[in-house]
Structure 1
Amino acid sequence: MRRMVALGACVLLACSPQKGEAPAVELPEYFPAPRFSGTTAEGTVFDAESLRGKVAVVSFFFTSCSGPCPVLNSRLSVLQSLFADEPDVRFVSITVDPLRDTPPVLKRYAQRYGAKPGRWDFVRMSPDSVEWLAVTGFRVPGSAHAPDLHSTRFILIDRRGIVRGFFSGLDENEVKKLERAIRWLLHGEGSKGRA
């Protein structure tokens, strides 16, 4: 697992734009990110208001997923490493299987991917809240009643709380675009609508 994360970091670093180079990624302003709250893997309250002023990446997963979730979370682990020195970048992974994914289960799972609490939070909420958040709030597939049908896209939110992009977590090129988009938003250029 650590080798896979290290290899992924090397690939993403090699493909990162040079300083001053504008990445070619369109970043329209979609809609305000929904407000939500839940319980973290640490057992503390998570409130989406804590993302204000930060660039955030939101994803959906569940711990017993053997399909896309390990790939998604490995890629988020690489991104967390790449932005380790950027305190204004946050990652939030929301379980679509809250009945099984209790805080202790989430904590063990988060540790597997090297998640740093407060920088990358694994969040649990009620089944109805998860479905509302995915389908109505973020406008992606997701249901606690059918966890396998969750979205595999990473949702990018800017410092103002506006959804700026959807990136396939299963496509390495899309993840590279996400990395460039995060950098662009961090350095203030994203407010112009193009990254």
Structure 2
Amino acid sequence: MPSSFLKSPDNWLWLLVMLTLFWSCQSSDNSLPILGQRKAVTKTIDGKVVTDSVDHTIPDFKFTSQYGDTVTAHDFTGKIYVADFFFTTCPTICPKMKMQLKRVYEKFKNNPNVALLSHTINPEHDSVAVLKEFADNLGVTGHQWLFVTGDKEAIYDIGQNSYMVTAQEDSSAPGGVVHSGAFILVDKDRHIRGIYDGTTEEGVDKLMADMDRLLTDYKK
């Protein structure tokens, strides 16, 4: 697939729909599918070399939140969470995304099993202080919804290679970046269980329904 294909948000969303449909068809029960390509892992067991495959998993990470503290994957142990990528000066889809994600925040507010994680893709501008002001203006309090900044290369890498979203610097685009409007649902084992259009009410309604579904599965 040519790299230019993924630079278009429309093409990117189409690809996500196809991936979701594919993995849904592979699911043998009524649970949410685990998205992403399985990885071959070679181990030595009782002196024998064995190759197995494991599900796509979000790796550990290290960023800084709007409170100035360090955030790693271990902070989400025992939680499902929704991840997204944005920047505070984005003039196009980000305001829509944040209003939609606030709906998720309000629905699951104070639920200890749910967290939200928003990564800035413009860390040069979006400092800790800027992210704190942005969160305050949204009416976000506490540590359930974290806005993180950090090394730009690390943010772009985890977005593209782990969360399966894309951001492309483009001087001709509003705000200088073309990026996806996806919300990514991650389970307690760091597996991606769904990718949703975060710019629409319909997409976020589906996300919240799937979050309820996933939480119910854990109760079972």
Give the Å deviation of 1:85: 4.0
Task: Give the C-alpha shift of residue 148 in structure 1.
Answer: 2.1
Letter matched to residue 207 of structure 2: L
Cross-structure match for 2:165: 140
Question: How big is each residue's C-alpha offset from its partner over 1:89-146, in whole Å with a ceiling of 9 and x where there is no partner?
Answer: 1000000000000000000001111223310000001111111111112121025x45
Provide the C-alpha distance between the structure 2 equivalents of 1:162 and 1:180, rounded to a whole number of angstroms.
Answer: 18
**Post-superposition offset of 1:165:** 0.7
Amino acid across the alignment from 1:127:
K
Higher normalized strand content (fraction of residues)? 2
> Do the aligned partners of 1:142 and 1:149 also contact (CA within 8 Å) in 2?
yes
- Separation of aligned partners in 2, 1:166 and 1:95: 18
**TM-superposed deviation, 1:49:** 1.6
Aligned residue-pair number = 166
Given candidates 126, 144, 158, the residue that maps to 2:187 is 158
On the 8 A contact 1:27/1:190 being kept in 2, the answer is no
Q: Give the secondary structure class of the aligned counterpart of 1:149.
A: strand
Q: Deviations over 1:57-112 (max 9, x none)?
A: 00000000011111111111111111114111100000000000000000000111
- TM-score normalised by structure 1 residue count: 0.79
8 Å CA contact retained: 2:32, 2:214: no
> Which structure: larger Rg?
2
What is the CA–CA distance in structure 2 between the aligned matches of 1:128 and 1:184, rounded to whole Å? 34
TM alignment of 1:114-193, pairs within 5 A: 114-143=139-168, 145-146=169-170, 148-188=177-217
Is 1:27 the counterpart of 2:32 in the alignment?
yes
Tell me which residue corresponds to 1:83: 108
Alignment partners' CA distance in 2, 1:183 and 1:94: 24
Higher RCO (CA 8 Å, separation ≥ 6 residues):
1
Query: CA–CA distance in 2 between the matches of 1:153 and 1:117?
Result: 24
- The structural deviation recorded for 1:158 is 0.8
Residue 149 and residue 117 in structure 1: after superposition, are their counterparts in 2 closer, same or farther (change >3 A)? Answer: farther
Secondary structure, counterpart of 2:96 in structure 1: helix
Inter-partner Cα distance in structure 2 for 1:34 and 1:116: 27
Q: Secondary structure at the match of 2:155?
A: helix
Give percent identity, aligned residues only: 30
For 2:185, the aligned partner's letter is L
Could you say which residue in structure 2 is the equivalent of 1:69?
94
Measured after TM superposition, the shift of residue 171 of structure 1 is: 2.0
Q: Work out whether residues 110 and 144 of structure 2, in 8 Å CA contact, stay in contact via their aligned partners in 1.
A: no
Please give the secondary structure, in 2, of the residue aligned with 1:32.
Answer: coil
Match for residue 49 of structure 1 among 45, 58, 74: 74
Determine the structure 1 residue equivalent to 2:120: 95
Q: 1:132 to 1:190 in 2, by over 3 A?
A: farther
Q: Distance in 2 between matches of 1:43 and 1:79?
A: 24
Task: Indicate conservation of the 8 Å contact 1:130/1:142, yes or no.
Answer: no
SS at match of 1:98: coil
